Structure formats: structure tokens, C-alpha cells
Amino acid sequence: MSAQKKEIPYKIYLTEEEMPKAWYNLRADMKNKPAPLLNPATHEKMSVDDLSHVFCRELAEQELDDKTPYIPIPEEIQKFYKMYRPSPLVRAYCLEEKLGTPAHIYYKFEGNNTSGSHKLNSAIAQAYYAKKQGLKGVTTETGAGQWGTALSMACAYFGLDCKVYMVKVSYEQKPFRREVMRTYGASVTPSPSMETEIGKKINAEFPGTGGSLGCAISEAVEKATTTEGYRYVLGSVLAQVLLHQSIIGLETEAALKKYDIVPDVIIGCAGGGSNLGGLISPFMRDKIQGKLNCRIVAVEPDSCPSFTRGVYAYDYCDTGMVCPLAKMYTLGSGFMPSGTHAGGLRYHGMSSVLSQLYDDGLMEARSYKQTDVFAAAEEFARCEGILPAPESSHAIRAAIDEALKCKETGEAKNIVFGLTGTGYFDMYAYEKFNNGTMVDVPLTDEDIKKSLATLPKMD
Amino acid sequence: MSAQKKEIPYKIYLTEEEMPKAWYNLRADMKNKPAPLLNPATHEKMSVDDLSHVFCRELAEQELDDKTPYIPIPEEIQKFYKMYRPSPLVRAYCLEEKLGTPAHIYYKFEGNNTSGSHKLNSAIAQAYYAKKQGLKGVTTETGAGQWGTALSMACAYFGLDCKVYMVKVSYEQKPFRREVMRTYGASVTPSPSMETEIGKKINAEFPGTGGSLGCAISEAVEKATTTEGYRYVLGSVLAQVLLHQSIIGLETEAALKKYDIVPDVIIGCAGGGSNLGGLISPFMRDKIQGKLNCRIVAVEPDSCPSFTRGVYAYDYCDTGMVCPLAKMYTLGSGFMPSGTHAGGLRYHGMSSVLSQLYDDGLMEARSYKQTDVFAAAEEFARCEGILPAPESSHAIRAAIDEALKCKETGEAKNIVFGLTGTGYFDMYAYEKFNNGTMVDVPLTDEDIKKSLATLPKMD
């Protein structure tokens, strides 16, 4: 006889007391550890000292720590988290009804903060350690502006200076994002700029260039390493970022447990891997330990398919080739997604942690065309209310497809996906979709072969 | 001996069971009822039948009902509310700390939904009654697009057609808002259009005009009254809208009671009055009945000061003069705020309900310059995280000023204000503020005298 089931509300919130007090470091429980970061010149293992020239010391330690399972969240960060967390775990009753599926669909919604995404979870942590180290400020790059916004908010809170190098074409085309950052007191410089050596060089070589993320990273790193009291911070890919993002998964786990819900499928979109890595971390632990039998699915755009069409190899993390080498699923640091690609998730590689898990067969991956992704976004928005970010909509597409499969088989599976953010600053892309002018340009094997030629030669 | 006080969390959420099941109709408890709506041609009282040509019948009944204190919220609307409500009542711990005030500051945050504001609370109700009446669709106007977005979301949910007339200059300058509405399936027409008689007439008289809210209202009303199966809906000013918005106040009341908090000051920004009227309703009831001793403060821009510099008189609700006459604090329907005014809250008049309460001395009102309002917005954003809408920031300004007064007097007052929405689509205005190019153009007595000359002649 089963106990009386509690009715599941539309939104499951944890109380402040139930919020996680420590981040979870999945690497501690991985049987095969992620491959170490290497010096791009010498190909030797990076030490904490090496990394500390670029990153705050405590973050460098977190980056290399694959042993400590739980790292306490400092009080000050817990306090900031309480302003916009816990985020709700939402039961998508309306979407289920619309689809006519017996599946139960849940999404962890990270968009209810001004940065509009989960990026704030790591931004506040990185700003905190910079402040604790007595730094004056931090530098970073931003493309579309989500990460730059999150970091600006975090720096405003701790009274840190924040220098953001924003890809010039985005700086000009996304003035609203730029102004949000400026409202939080950040200085936003279009990249390439004339403030750095690398910027000057690129401006001289390519007059009038709109810039690239790779160039902006190089400028931000140069500025941090040549300015007294500054360090560089990064919003994805790194293991430290996945660590901070574990708050997403830990809250999800606690919310599901409150109602005795066992997930059958967990789905997340994957760019650099910060959201996916954070969401799945406690579930992956249980899966590794044989306590949970659950599918874990990474979803990527078919115009930037690192998992589904990339190779597992050491590669540069940035196109400027100044950052350490990481072993990851990659398309090559020279990879550029098609200009018609509007859906975000443009990074050429994938977190080393996730890459190892994927290589170990612990995760699945799939890719979708952007028009299919926007169709899912629209369907979701019209019944669940929330206008999702294009990135998040990759996970929506996969969740809908899984729920439709359940409709065929009659299974009442529990599907959990990460809704990483809102699409308010992505209306150019939605406009294309609404006007029917969004196109899918297939990525050829030839394209991939070309970009894989940029991989470093390893011994 | 006082009981042990419970620690107050950063965010007070109600459970779904604690959410209000009925709206509260403040008019039922007002000693002096708001003056009735009059036919603009005959100056006779409007009946439900009269109003039913323009509005859904059940909404027309709600509009004229000043007797029934509680009106049950239909199940379907409760269900929709559960997708984005309850909204949190937030304790502004960080702002208090920043200000160094002994005051306790709370804000009811209505911005956590895709419309970005409280407007959705009434949009879903109006869409529901339209659906229930078997209509095909509804028409409305929108300026900046908040209301249009909310209505599009509501109509998408119930499968109703939604025709939005968007002031042409906004249609062109705010393409993102337009695309949000289109994503929810609404048709958005720049006004003046060539689809209506009034639109054609205005286009002929003023070729190349950017349109006005008054003109857009007239187009929407004409379209609704000349198209089979359509009615017109409105997002503010009307008593029915205040009724639906009472959900804000009822939730606030319940959240405060959970922690035995008694408000000393309640503050809301005031444009047409829908947010303020909703927020204060249960507190005003208690104040009228002598059960609560609490100040209630309306805040308006000094470039559109209906309460603080207007007159209490019958006026047209729209510049097109097609809607009923309402008795209200007004600057005259011909009033146009200065072109430099970026802060929202541009309506010439004020809800009849609030006007009567203000005339009865039950409320205070004050006005602020927009540069002072944006300075408060920025200060708030940097410590509380949320980037507020310019409209909402009027209430923030007043709350900060009240808290600073407490700092002087050493009083630990409970200050509650309404944070109606987010400013993500207002970055042009923030950009002006960030660049130091925002100016305050004082409104002269002469300006007001001129616009008051547009008041109708009454017997």
C-alpha cells in the first residue's frame, strides 16, 4: 500500500533554511577524473600558482580541486543568494495538458533575476573571492551580454570595479544590454579596443572589425594581468563555475525530495556546460554510485555540436590561445558558428568535467535545428507564460520530445529540465522566427574538418 | 511580555493554499462612493447595457458594482495565477543596510513574469471573461507595450485573438516589445492605421504622425465595436482593473500577517492607479474602518502630476473622447507630458476610486523629478539586484526618503511599497540617465491651465 501522495504545487520553493549551505564538487566522486589543464606553451600541468596570475587564488584552488566533495558557501554569498534564490522548480501543468502527455514535466527556472540567467550564481562567487583577496576589480569579456550583466551586478554589490570587454558588434547591436551593465556601474569597452596591446594589434590588422569573443577574452586577460589589483573571471566552461552552479542541482534535488519525485530524465542545454554541469551534479553522483537510474541528456544546437560531432582532445579554451589547454569535446578553437545562427550556445568546446562524463557513457547528447528550437520556445511561452532564452529553449525542445514519446508509450515519466533564462534581450532572433526569415544552414563535415585543423599538436 | 518574534526571511512567499480565492472590491467599504461614469454625449449615468457594447458583460457588471465586497476568482484564473504568483514580498535587507536606516523596508515585487509587470493580473481576468462570453477576440491599445504584452500572454493562454494598436512611434522605437507580443500570437498594428475610420481620418489630417495613446484607444474601441465577436479591454484606470489588482494587496496583507508585521507607510506609484489601487485595497479598508493607523502615499512624476496639481472634475478618459466621462483628479484629457519625460506614468487622469479616497483625505500624494527617480532606481538596482521599471522607481524614491527620515528620527517603521515591474525594455531612458543627458523640464502653471481648458463643460 503506497502512502497518500502529496499534491504537487505549480511551483516548489525551498525555504531559506532548506537552501544548500555548501556547493557540491562532482569531480570528487568521478571515477575517471577530468584531464588536467595544461600550459599552452610547455604542455605542463598548471599549478595553483600558475593559475593565480590570472585568477583569484581561492578560485584557482577550486579549479584544481578534484577531491573535496563539499565546499561551504561563504555567508556573504548565501546572503546574496537569498535575494534571488531559491529559484522555483516549476511543474509545467499547462504544457503537459497542451501536449496531452502522461509525463510529468518539471523545470528549474533560473531567469528570475536581472541578469536573466543562471550566470549570477557564479558571478557573485567570483566577485566575492576577488573582494576577499583585496582586489580592486575584475575584468571579463561578454558576447551577448548575459555574463557581463551578471558580473556587473555582483561587482556592484561588493563595490568592486568591473571592466567588461564586449564584442564590438554586440556593443553596437545590443545597446540595452550595455546600458544594464553601465547602470550597475561597470565600464563597458567595445572590443577590439585601443586600451590593450592585443586590441591595438587587431585593430591595425583588421581595421573596422566587429571583434570576436576570442579577441575580447584576450583583451580581458591582458588587462587583468597587466593592471595592479585586477584578475580575470570567466562565466562558463571552468570547473570552478560548474562548482558554483551546483546550487541549481542541489536545490532541484531538495525540491524533488520534498514531494518524493524521482527523476527519469534530466535535460539541460549545453554551451560551455555551466548550467548543465550544475543541474546534473547531485543526480550524476547518485548515478555513478548506482543509487539512481536516470537518463541525463545534453542538448546543443546543430550549428555548434561539440558533443555530437566534435572530438575529445586537448584544445585551446579561447581563440586567442592565451588560456590553458583543456581536454574536452571540441570543434576546434577556430570554429565559428554560421552567421545565421541566432540561438546562443556558440562556444567551440565543452567543460572538461562534462566531456569526461560523456566519454564515460554517463550522458547522452543530441542536437537540434534552430527553427525547431524556436518553435518549442513559442509553444512553451504561449502556455507556460515565460518567454525563454534561445539557449534554454534547446532543453525545452528535448523535454517536449521526451514528453511526446511518453504520450506514445503511455509512460508517466518524470522529466526535469533546466530553464536557464529569459529571452527579453533576444528579440531580434524571435523577430526573425516570427517573420519566417530564420534559416537553418547545415554544418558540413568539411566545415568541421577545417576547424578541427586548429587543434594544437600534442605529443 | 512579547512573544518570540519569528525571523523574517528575505522573501515571504505564500503557499498556494494561502493565495486569495476572491478579489476585494474596495468600493463596497467606501463611505463616499466614486462618482458614476457618464455618457460623454448625454451626461447620463452609464448602465451595464451601455457599457456592454464596448466591454464584456461580466466586466461591465464589475465596473458598476460598488456593493459586493468579495468577488470569487474563477478557477481558471486561479490556475493561471499559480503559474507566476504568489509574487514575493521582499524584505529589502541590503537596501536598509546601505541606507543605515532602522526602518524595515518591504516591497511587493510584481515583475517576475514575462509581461514584466502587474498588468498580467487584470489581463488574464479580462481575457477569461471574453472567452467565457464566447467572443473571438479583444482589442486594445498600448504605448510602451507593457499592457499589450500582458494581454497577448493572456489571450494566447485562452486561445483568443488579440489585436493591439500600438502608438506608431513606440512601434518603431520599441521593436522588441512588439516582437514579444507577436511571439504570443497577437497582431500588432501601428496606430494611426488605415484599418479604422478614425485612423484614416487622422492619417489624412496629420500625414506622417507618430500617433498618440488617445488615437490608439479610439482605433481599438472602433475596431471592437464594429467587429462581430470582439470587445475592447483596458489595462488601468477602470474600477474593474483595480478589483483584479486587489490580488496584490491581499497577498501583501497575508504575507505581512504571517510575520505579525503592521505597516506604518504604504507607498505606490500612480499613473492610472491600477497598481496603487490594488496594493492598498485591504489596508485602506482597515483604515476606513479604524482598524489600521497607516499612511498611504501615492507617488507621481512631477511632469504628469494629476493628484498634486490637477483638479477633481469630470473628464474624458481618452483624448479621443469616445469613452465614458469619469470624475477624477485630472490635468485635462488634452494634457501631454513633456517630450523629455522618460519615466512612464503618462496618463492625464487618475482612477475614480483613488480620486475619491484622495479627496476624502485618506491618502497623501507627492511628485518627484525624473532624475531623482532614476537615481533611486540605480541605487536600488545596485544593492537589491533588481533593475526596476521607471514607473516603479517613483515608489522606490519615496520609500528611500521615508527610510532616511526614520534614520533621522530613529524610528523602526515598517515601510511597504509596490515594485510593479522591471525596466528591461526601458534602457533608452536608463541610457540617458547613465550619460547624464536626462533633463527635468518643469511643468508651468500655464501648461496646466492650457490642458485644463480641455475639460468638458458640465451642467
Cβ atoms within 10 Å of B319's Cβ, excluding its own:
21
Contacts of B15 in chain A (CB under 8 A): 9
Chain A: nearest CA to B152, how far in angstroms? 9
Average pLDDT over residues A353-360: 98
Contacts of B385 in chain A (CB under 8 A): 80, 83-84, 113-114, 153, 157
Chain B: nearest CA to A433, how far in angstroms? 9
Smallest CA-to-CA distance from B266 within B241, B296, B239 is with B296
Q: What pLDDT does B4 receive?
A: 56
Q: What pLDDT does A172 receive?
A: 86
What type of residue sits at position B446? E
Burial A154-184 (b: 16+ CB within 10 A, else e): bbbbeebbbbbbbbbebbeebebbbbbbbbb
Domains present along chain B, CATH in parentheses: 3-21+85-116+242-452 (3.40.50.1100), 24-71+119-232 (3.40.50.1100)
Place of cell 596570475: A53
A10–chain B Cβ distance below 8 A for any pair: yes
Give the dihedral of Cα atoms A338, A317, A228, A127; nearest 10 deg: 80
Q: Shortest CB distance from B385 goes to which of A9, A83, A182?
A: A83
**What Å distances lie between residue B374 and A179, A224, B394, B434, CA to CA?**
13, 32, 8, 9
What type of residue sits at position B47? S
B340–chain A Cβ distance below 8 A for any pair: no
How far is the C-alpha of A148 from the C-alpha of A182, rounded, in Å? 10
Chain B: nearest CA to A189, how far in angstroms? 15
How far is the C-alpha of A242 from the C-alpha of A28, rounded, in Å? 13
What pairing do the DSSP bridges indicate for beta strands A311-316 and A70-72?
unpaired
- For residue A316, the SS3 value is strand
Contacts of B94 in chain A (CB under 8 A): 83, 157
Beta-bridged to residue A311, according to DSSP, are A330
How far is the C-alpha of B157 from the C-alpha of A343, rounded, in Å? 25
Q: Say how far residue A293 (Cα) sits from the centre of its chain.
A: 25
A75–chain B Cβ distance below 8 A for any pair: no
Contacts of B80 in chain A (CB under 8 A): 385
Beta-bridged to residue B422, according to DSSP, are B388
Contact assessment for residue B242 and residue B234, using Cβ atoms and an 8 Å cutoff: no
> Do A385 and B427 count as a contact with CB atoms less than 8 A apart?
no
User: Backbone phi, then psi, for B147, in 5-degree steps?
Assistant: -65, -45
Contacts of A15 in chain B (CB under 8 A): 9
User: Could you tell me which residue, A157 or B172, shows the higher pLDDT?
Assistant: A157
Smallest CA-to-CA distance from A351 within A243, A266, A242 is with A242
Average pLDDT over residues A3-8: 73
Q: What pLDDT does A265 receive?
A: 98
pTM of the model: 0.95
Note the pLDDT tens digit of each residue in A76-114: 999 999 999 999 999 999 999 999 999 999 999 999 999
Chain A: nearest CA to B317, how far in angstroms? 31
What type of residue sits at position A281? S
> Do B156 and A13 count as a contact with CB atoms less than 8 A apart?
no
Helix and strand totals (H; E) in chain A: 18, 15
Looking at chain A, which residue has its C-alpha nearest residue B177?
A427
Q: What pLDDT does B2 receive?
A: 45
Note the pLDDT tens digit of each residue in A221-232: 999 999 999 999
A425–chain B Cβ distance below 8 A for any pair: yes
Averaged pLDDT, groups of 10, chain B, 459 residues long: 71 96 98 96 95 96 98 97 97 98 98 95 98 98 91 97 93 89 97 94 89 86 95 94 98 98 98 96 98 97 95 88 90 84 82 98 97 97 96 97 98 98 91 94 94 91
How far is the C-alpha of A111 from the C-alpha of A120, rounded, in Å? 10
> Do B179 and A427 count as a contact with CB atoms less than 8 A apart?
yes
Helices A370-384 and A427-435: crossing angle in degrees, nearest 10, is: 100
Is ipTM over 0.85?
A: yes
How far is the C-alpha of A452 from the C-alpha of A348, rounded, in Å? 10
Contacts of B176 in chain A (CB under 8 A): 176, 424-425, 427
Contacts of B182 in chain A (CB under 8 A): 430-431, 434
Q: What pLDDT does B383 receive?
A: 94
